[in-house]
Amino acid sequence: MADSPADKLAEKMATAPILGPGHDFASVTDKISSIVLKRRPPKWWWVGFAIAFALVMLMLYSITYLLIVGVGIWGIQVPVGWGFAIINFVWWIGIGHAGTLISAILLLLRQQWRTSINRFAEAMTLFAVACAGMFPLLHMGRPWLAYWMFPYPDTMKMWPNFRSPLAWDVFAVSTYATVSLLFWFVGLLPDLATLRDRAKNPVAKIIYGFLAMGWRGSAVHWYRHETASLLLAGLATPLVLSVHTIVSFDFAFGIVPGWHATIFPPYFVAGAIYAGFAMVLTLSIPVRKVFGLEDFITMRHLDNMGKVLLATGLIVGYGYMMEAFSAYYSSDQYERFMILNRMFGPYAGIYWCLILCNIVTPQFLWFRKVRSKVGALFAIAMVVNVGMWLERFVIVVTSLHRDFLPSSWGMYYPTRWDFALFFGTIGLFLTLLFLFLRFLPLISIYEMRALVSEEDKKAEGWSPAD
């Protein structure tokens, strides 16, 4: 029995380490910090950065044109007033959620395998939130009046409409951005100090030293660091659920068929984590390859992330099923029409594409063989990234374009500016990511050192309870 190849694979995967063998404190520190401190970045870095930066220029160009001309350059028109801007907003903010889940919830649950992926997952969160935050602002049409959304003593005696989830969004997203940034920065402190101590370049010494805020690694420092990390993790944990819940309220509070559903909050949160883990996989697979970090981001990590992807994908699939079921069960002609229109209306192609990407494709992750193949995981993650974007397209567009009154039906066609801004934000995301890979340690050095000492203890025959 135990000799069959499948069982061997099973055993191999279950016992695969979360840290390659033969590492000590020095080798871990060397390996990670040398990525940053090496003099010249590799050629692929320059190529990637150049492409990403060109896309940022495209983004700036399309934003400039948008500010001059107005949102009319986009494809939005009655009845579809929420086009790419809202689709992209929800997509980006969802992607961020995996970072927070990994860094906060898995920290509180003491899942050690999170250690090597949490740093760049958190960075991914920050950059995704930066991209997401732009869209509602630009969608307002007059972004220079964005501060009106905050309650402050203005000359108009106006106050944000606190009964509107759109006002909650402002606070949800800005809180999320603030907590994520603080959490990331607090986690970086000991590593910034390591870089400060190891840097040869005097300018780098000063910059890392400035950012390290005088970290000396004393016991008091570590104690406070630990406390702050746990507190921030506690703060960030509810945010994983609340932010996307509130984003889903933007839809669910409207009476539009296809939006007005109680399943929206959990279904959105699961979708966010699903999209986020797909993005973490998409990023971590090339990163471990090009930096030779297979010892740190091991097959065990990829396997675990594949499982999370499968689990959240199933929840999302349940969400789609329930959407169809409650439309049928409600006996409401508008709800029933909405789901039929989704499946067989003018946007049916996109709907079935979404089902293929989000429901069918991840089923391959049931197989250990698939989860043990890096290329297959990468392909599935990419498909899910696309699928989650299509999901938001279906929710936003197909619900709006044919609602109650057939006389006000219409079609939505994105324009080149919609695409320019969307690809532009992908460029911004990648640019920030390339800068991050170049200037900050992409894996938490001090947590990896802690992992080394744990592994040592195990090797010496200590049980985890000690």
When the beta carbons of 228 and 450 are compared against another protein, the nearer one is 228
When the beta carbons of 68 and 156 are compared against another protein, the nearer one is 156
When the beta carbons of 162 and 366 are compared against another protein, the nearer one is 162
When the beta carbons of 5 and 153 are compared against another protein, the nearer one is 153
**283 in Cβ contact with 382 (< 8 Å):** no
Which of the ranges 153-161, 272-280, 426-434, 435-443 carries the binding residues for another protein, by CB under 8 A? Answer: 153-161
**The residue type at 434:** F
Which of 4, 39, 144, 155 is the binder for another protein (CB under 8 A)? 155
**417 in Cβ contact with 65 (< 8 Å):** yes
**Segment 193-212, which members bind another protein (CB under 8 A)?**
196, 205-206, 209
**The residue type at 53:** F
What's the first-to-final CA gap in the chain, in angstroms? Answer: 35
Minimum distance, C-beta of residue 156 to another protein, in the bound complex (Å): 4
Q: Extract the tokens encoding 323.
A: 């959407």
Residues in contact with another protein, counted by CB under 8 A, come to a total of 12
Which of 156, 220, 405, 465 is the binder for another protein (CB under 8 A)? 156
**403 in Cβ contact with 24 (< 8 Å):** no
Minimum distance, C-beta of residue 155 to another protein, in the bound complex (Å): 4
- Give the length of the chain: 466
Minimum distance, C-beta of residue 32 to another protein, in the bound complex (Å): 21
Say how many C-beta atoms besides its own lie within 10 A of residue 340's C-beta. Answer: 14
**294 near another protein, rule: CB under 8 A:** no
**374 in Cβ contact with 285 (< 8 Å):** yes
**The residue type at 406:** P
Strands (E), 56-202: none
Ordered alpha helix ranges (H), 151-263: 165-198, 202-212, 219-252
**431 in Cβ contact with 361 (< 8 Å):** no
Minimum distance, C-beta of residue 127 to another protein, in the bound complex (Å): 25
Which residues touch 76 (CB under 8 Å, ≥6 apart)?
82, 83, 85, 412
When the beta carbons of 213 and 290 are compared against another protein, the nearer one is 213
For residue 64, the cross-strand partners are none
Q: Angle formed by the axes of helices 165-198 and 445-459, to 10°? A: 70
Give the per-residue contact string, 365-404, with another protein (x = CB under 8 A; - = no): ----------------------------------------
Minimum distance, C-beta of residue 456 to another protein, in the bound complex (Å): 29
Q: Extract the tokens encoding 214.
A: 């005088």
Minimum distance, C-beta of residue 272 to another protein, in the bound complex (Å): 33
Which of 50, 69, 158, 321 is the binder for another protein (CB under 8 A)? 158
Which of the ranges 30-38, 151-159, 185-193, 297-305 carries the binding residues for another protein, by CB under 8 A? Answer: 151-159
Give the per-residue contact string, 205-244, with another protein (x = CB under 8 A; - = no): xx--x---xx------------------------------
Which of 5, 21, 153, 349 is the binder for another protein (CB under 8 A)? 153
When the beta carbons of 109 and 156 are compared against another protein, the nearer one is 156
Q: Extract the tokens encoding 294.
A: 């297979």
Residue 149: alpha-carbon gap to chain centroid: 25
**Segment 324-353, which members bind another protein (CB under 8 A)?**
none
Helix or strand holding residue 437 (H, E): helix 416-439
Residues of this chain that bind another protein (CB under 8 A): 153-158, 196, 205-206, 209, 213-214
